Amino acid sequence: MSTAFAPLPESSTAHLVADRIREAIWQGTLQPGDRLVETDLAERFEISRGPVREAIRLLAPEGLIVLRRNRGAVVANPTFDDVLEVYAARMNLGELALATLARRGVDRATFDEVASRLDRLRDPMVQAEPVFMLEADLAFQDALMRLSGLPRISDMLENSGRDAASFVRLLGITYESTDHDALIARHERTLAAIAAANPAEAVTAWQDHIRVTVAEFARGYRDVSNVSDDQHPLFAHVLGASRQEKS
Protein backbone atom coordinates (compact mmCIF):
# COMPACT_ATOMS: atom_id res chain seq x y z
CA MET A 1 0.00 0.00 0.00
CA SER A 2 1.60 3.24 -1.15
CA THR A 3 -0.63 5.59 0.86
CA ALA A 4 1.38 8.09 2.90
CA PHE A 5 0.13 9.01 6.36
CA ALA A 6 1.61 11.69 8.58
CA PRO A 7 3.01 10.35 11.89
CA LEU A 8 0.75 10.57 14.92
CA PRO A 9 1.82 11.23 18.50
CA GLU A 10 1.96 8.15 20.72
CA SER A 11 -0.97 9.44 22.75
CA SER A 12 -3.36 9.31 19.77
CA THR A 13 -6.58 7.41 20.41
CA ALA A 14 -8.29 4.83 18.23
CA HIS A 15 -10.89 7.48 17.35
CA LEU A 16 -8.22 9.78 15.95
CA VAL A 17 -6.75 6.93 13.92
CA ALA A 18 -10.25 6.11 12.64
CA ASP A 19 -10.72 9.77 11.66
CA ARG A 20 -7.51 9.70 9.61
CA ILE A 21 -8.40 6.45 7.85
CA ARG A 22 -11.97 7.66 7.23
CA GLU A 23 -10.67 10.89 5.70
CA ALA A 24 -8.30 8.93 3.44
CA ILE A 25 -11.22 6.82 2.20
CA TRP A 26 -13.48 9.82 1.61
CA GLN A 27 -10.74 11.66 -0.27
CA GLY A 28 -10.02 8.62 -2.42
CA THR A 29 -6.49 8.13 -1.11
CA LEU A 30 -7.60 4.70 0.01
CA GLN A 31 -9.61 2.95 -2.70
CA PRO A 32 -12.32 0.26 -2.48
CA GLY A 33 -10.61 -3.10 -2.15
CA ASP A 34 -7.40 -1.76 -0.57
CA ARG A 35 -6.17 -3.86 2.34
CA LEU A 36 -5.60 -2.25 5.72
CA VAL A 37 -2.61 -3.98 7.29
CA GLU A 38 -2.29 -3.24 11.00
CA THR A 39 1.49 -3.41 11.09
CA ASP A 40 1.80 -1.17 8.04
CA LEU A 41 -0.61 1.45 9.40
CA ALA A 42 0.97 1.35 12.86
CA GLU A 43 4.36 2.00 11.31
CA ARG A 44 3.08 4.87 9.20
CA PHE A 45 1.27 6.47 12.12
CA GLU A 46 4.22 5.67 14.40
CA ILE A 47 2.02 4.10 17.05
CA SER A 48 1.38 0.61 18.39
CA ARG A 49 -0.97 -1.82 16.65
CA GLY A 50 -3.63 -1.64 19.39
CA PRO A 51 -5.18 1.72 18.42
CA VAL A 52 -5.06 0.73 14.74
CA ARG A 53 -6.90 -2.51 15.43
CA GLU A 54 -9.55 -0.67 17.44
CA ALA A 55 -9.89 2.03 14.76
CA ILE A 56 -10.62 -0.61 12.14
CA ARG A 57 -13.28 -2.10 14.39
CA LEU A 58 -14.83 1.36 14.80
CA LEU A 59 -15.01 1.88 11.04
CA ALA A 60 -16.57 -1.49 10.20
CA PRO A 61 -20.12 -0.59 11.40
CA GLU A 62 -20.00 2.54 9.23
CA GLY A 63 -19.75 0.36 6.13
CA LEU A 64 -16.38 1.81 5.16
CA ILE A 65 -14.35 -1.24 6.20
CA VAL A 66 -15.11 -4.92 5.66
CA LEU A 67 -13.53 -7.56 7.90
CA ARG A 68 -12.87 -10.70 5.87
CA ARG A 69 -11.57 -14.05 7.01
CA ASN A 70 -8.02 -14.71 5.85
CA ARG A 71 -7.82 -11.25 4.25
CA GLY A 72 -8.15 -9.03 7.27
CA ALA A 73 -9.63 -5.57 6.80
CA VAL A 74 -10.25 -4.06 3.38
CA VAL A 75 -11.87 -0.84 2.22
CA ALA A 76 -15.47 -1.69 1.31
CA ASN A 77 -16.31 -2.11 -2.36
CA PRO A 78 -20.13 -2.02 -2.39
CA THR A 79 -21.86 -4.05 -5.06
CA PHE A 80 -25.15 -3.09 -6.66
CA ASP A 81 -26.72 -5.86 -4.58
CA ASP A 82 -25.59 -3.98 -1.47
CA VAL A 83 -27.16 -0.77 -2.76
CA LEU A 84 -30.43 -2.50 -3.59
CA GLU A 85 -30.65 -4.20 -0.21
CA VAL A 86 -30.11 -0.97 1.72
CA TYR A 87 -32.55 1.01 -0.39
CA ALA A 88 -35.17 -1.74 -0.32
CA ALA A 89 -35.01 -1.45 3.46
CA ARG A 90 -35.17 2.36 3.30
CA MET A 91 -38.15 2.17 0.95
CA ASN A 92 -40.16 -0.15 3.19
CA LEU A 93 -39.28 1.49 6.48
CA GLY A 94 -39.86 4.96 5.05
CA GLU A 95 -43.27 3.94 3.78
CA LEU A 96 -44.29 2.89 7.29
CA ALA A 97 -42.94 6.04 8.91
CA LEU A 98 -44.43 8.48 6.40
CA ALA A 99 -47.83 6.79 6.22
CA THR A 100 -48.00 6.87 10.02
CA LEU A 101 -46.96 10.53 10.08
CA ALA A 102 -49.54 11.51 7.44
CA ARG A 103 -52.29 9.79 9.42
CA ARG A 104 -51.28 11.03 12.87
CA GLY A 105 -50.25 14.52 11.89
CA VAL A 106 -47.91 16.76 13.85
CA ASP A 107 -48.13 20.26 15.24
CA ARG A 108 -47.44 22.94 12.64
CA ALA A 109 -44.46 24.50 14.37
CA THR A 110 -42.59 21.19 14.58
CA PHE A 111 -43.48 20.32 10.99
CA ASP A 112 -42.33 23.73 9.73
CA GLU A 113 -39.06 23.37 11.63
CA VAL A 114 -38.30 20.11 9.82
CA ALA A 115 -39.43 21.53 6.48
CA SER A 116 -37.05 24.46 6.95
CA ARG A 117 -34.14 22.00 6.76
CA LEU A 118 -34.67 22.03 2.99
CA ASP A 119 -33.28 25.56 3.00
CA ARG A 120 -29.82 24.12 3.52
CA LEU A 121 -30.25 22.08 0.34
CA ARG A 122 -31.05 25.30 -1.49
CA ASP A 123 -27.89 27.05 -0.29
CA PRO A 124 -25.50 27.50 -3.26
CA MET A 125 -22.49 26.99 -0.99
CA VAL A 126 -23.89 23.65 0.17
CA GLN A 127 -24.78 22.66 -3.39
CA ALA A 128 -21.18 23.30 -4.41
CA GLU A 129 -19.91 20.63 -1.99
CA PRO A 130 -21.19 17.07 -2.57
CA VAL A 131 -20.44 16.03 1.02
CA PHE A 132 -22.43 18.97 2.40
CA MET A 133 -25.36 18.11 0.12
CA LEU A 134 -25.25 14.50 1.21
CA GLU A 135 -25.22 15.42 4.90
CA ALA A 136 -28.00 18.00 4.51
CA ASP A 137 -30.16 15.59 2.51
CA LEU A 138 -29.86 12.75 5.03
CA ALA A 139 -30.33 15.13 7.97
CA PHE A 140 -33.63 16.31 6.48
CA GLN A 141 -34.81 12.76 5.86
CA ASP A 142 -33.85 11.63 9.36
CA ALA A 143 -35.64 14.57 10.97
CA LEU A 144 -38.77 13.95 8.90
CA MET A 145 -38.89 10.26 9.81
CA ARG A 146 -38.49 11.11 13.49
CA LEU A 147 -41.80 12.99 13.33
CA SER A 148 -43.56 9.65 12.81
CA GLY A 149 -43.21 8.81 16.50
CA LEU A 150 -41.76 5.41 15.56
CA PRO A 151 -38.34 5.51 17.25
CA ARG A 152 -37.19 2.00 16.33
CA ILE A 153 -38.06 2.41 12.68
CA SER A 154 -36.47 5.86 12.70
CA ASP A 155 -33.30 4.39 14.19
CA MET A 156 -33.17 1.72 11.47
CA LEU A 157 -33.63 4.36 8.81
CA GLU A 158 -30.86 6.45 10.31
CA ASN A 159 -28.54 3.43 10.33
CA SER A 160 -29.35 2.64 6.71
CA GLY A 161 -28.63 6.28 5.93
CA ARG A 162 -25.07 5.74 7.15
CA ASP A 163 -24.76 2.87 4.68
CA ALA A 164 -26.10 5.11 1.93
CA ALA A 165 -23.60 7.81 2.82
CA SER A 166 -20.78 5.27 2.66
CA PHE A 167 -21.94 4.12 -0.77
CA VAL A 168 -21.95 7.69 -2.06
CA ARG A 169 -18.42 8.34 -0.85
CA LEU A 170 -16.96 4.98 -1.85
CA LEU A 171 -18.49 5.08 -5.33
CA GLY A 172 -17.77 8.75 -5.96
CA ILE A 173 -21.43 9.64 -6.53
CA THR A 174 -21.91 13.39 -6.83
CA TYR A 175 -24.92 15.70 -6.71
CA GLU A 176 -24.97 17.25 -10.17
CA SER A 177 -26.14 20.86 -10.19
CA THR A 178 -28.98 20.01 -12.60
CA ASP A 179 -30.36 17.52 -10.05
CA HIS A 180 -30.64 19.88 -7.10
CA ASP A 181 -34.05 21.30 -8.00
CA ALA A 182 -35.43 17.84 -8.73
CA LEU A 183 -34.17 16.52 -5.39
CA ILE A 184 -35.76 19.38 -3.48
CA ALA A 185 -38.99 19.02 -5.47
CA ARG A 186 -39.23 15.36 -4.48
CA HIS A 187 -38.92 16.24 -0.81
CA GLU A 188 -41.43 19.08 -1.18
CA ARG A 189 -43.89 16.63 -2.71
CA THR A 190 -43.53 14.37 0.33
CA LEU A 191 -44.01 17.29 2.71
CA ALA A 192 -47.11 18.44 0.83
CA ALA A 193 -48.64 14.96 1.09
CA ILE A 194 -48.02 14.89 4.83
CA ALA A 195 -49.46 18.38 5.30
CA ALA A 196 -52.55 17.25 3.36
CA ALA A 197 -52.87 14.13 5.53
CA ASN A 198 -52.58 11.95 2.43
CA PRO A 199 -50.73 8.72 3.38
CA ALA A 200 -51.00 7.16 -0.09
CA GLU A 201 -49.40 10.18 -1.77
CA ALA A 202 -46.69 10.39 0.89
CA VAL A 203 -45.80 6.74 0.25
CA THR A 204 -45.81 7.20 -3.52
CA ALA A 205 -43.61 10.28 -3.29
CA TRP A 206 -41.12 8.39 -1.10
CA GLN A 207 -41.09 5.41 -3.47
CA ASP A 208 -40.36 7.70 -6.40
CA HIS A 209 -37.53 9.35 -4.48
CA ILE A 210 -35.93 6.00 -3.64
CA ARG A 211 -36.21 4.80 -7.25
CA VAL A 212 -34.58 7.94 -8.61
CA THR A 213 -31.79 7.62 -6.07
CA VAL A 214 -31.12 3.96 -6.88
CA ALA A 215 -31.22 4.71 -10.60
CA GLU A 216 -28.42 7.23 -10.00
CA PHE A 217 -26.36 4.51 -8.33
CA ALA A 218 -27.14 2.10 -11.17
CA ARG A 219 -25.32 4.32 -13.64
CA GLY A 220 -22.10 3.54 -11.81
CA TYR A 221 -22.36 -0.21 -12.45
CA ARG A 222 -21.84 -2.04 -15.72
CA ASP A 223 -24.50 -4.33 -17.16
CA VAL A 224 -27.13 -3.39 -14.57
CA SER A 225 -29.54 -2.45 -17.36
CA ASN A 226 -29.21 -6.00 -18.75
CA VAL A 227 -30.35 -7.71 -15.56
CA SER A 228 -33.98 -8.80 -15.64
CA ASP A 229 -36.41 -8.53 -12.74
CA ASP A 230 -36.58 -12.34 -12.63
CA GLN A 231 -32.81 -12.59 -12.19
CA HIS A 232 -32.72 -10.24 -9.22
CA PRO A 233 -35.50 -10.34 -6.61
CA LEU A 234 -34.98 -6.74 -5.46
CA PHE A 235 -35.03 -5.19 -8.93
CA ALA A 236 -38.79 -5.48 -9.30
CA HIS A 237 -39.34 -4.18 -5.78
CA VAL A 238 -37.06 -1.15 -5.92
CA LEU A 239 -36.73 -0.32 -9.61
CA GLY A 240 -39.50 -2.29 -11.26
CA ALA A 241 -41.99 0.54 -11.77
CA SER A 242 -39.47 3.04 -13.09
CA ARG A 243 -37.96 0.51 -15.49
CA GLN A 244 -41.37 -0.46 -16.85
CA GLU A 245 -42.21 3.19 -17.47
CA LYS A 246 -39.04 3.56 -19.59
CA SER A 247 -39.71 0.41 -21.64
Decide if 33 contacts 77 (C-beta within 8 A).
yes
Question: Which pLDDT score is estimated for 78?
Answer: 87
Domain 14-75 indexed as CATH 1.10.10.10: yes
pTM flag (> 0.85): no
Q: How far apart are CA 24 and CA 149, in angstroms?
A: 37
Please name the residues in contact with 118: beta carbons below 8 A apart, sequence gap of 6 or more: 140, 184, 187, 188, 191
Please name the residues in contact with 228: beta carbons below 8 A apart, sequence gap of 6 or more: 235
Q: Which CATH class is domain 80-246?
A: mainly alpha
Q: How far apart are CA 34 and CA 62, in angstroms?
A: 17
Q: What confidence tens digit (pLDDT) does each residue in 178-203 have?
A: 588 999 999 999 999 999 999 999 99
φ, ψ of residue 73 to 5 degrees: the values are -95, 135
Low pLDDT (below 70) residues in the chain? 1-4, 7-12, 175-178, 220, 222-233, 240-247
Domain ranges of the chain: 14-75, 80-246
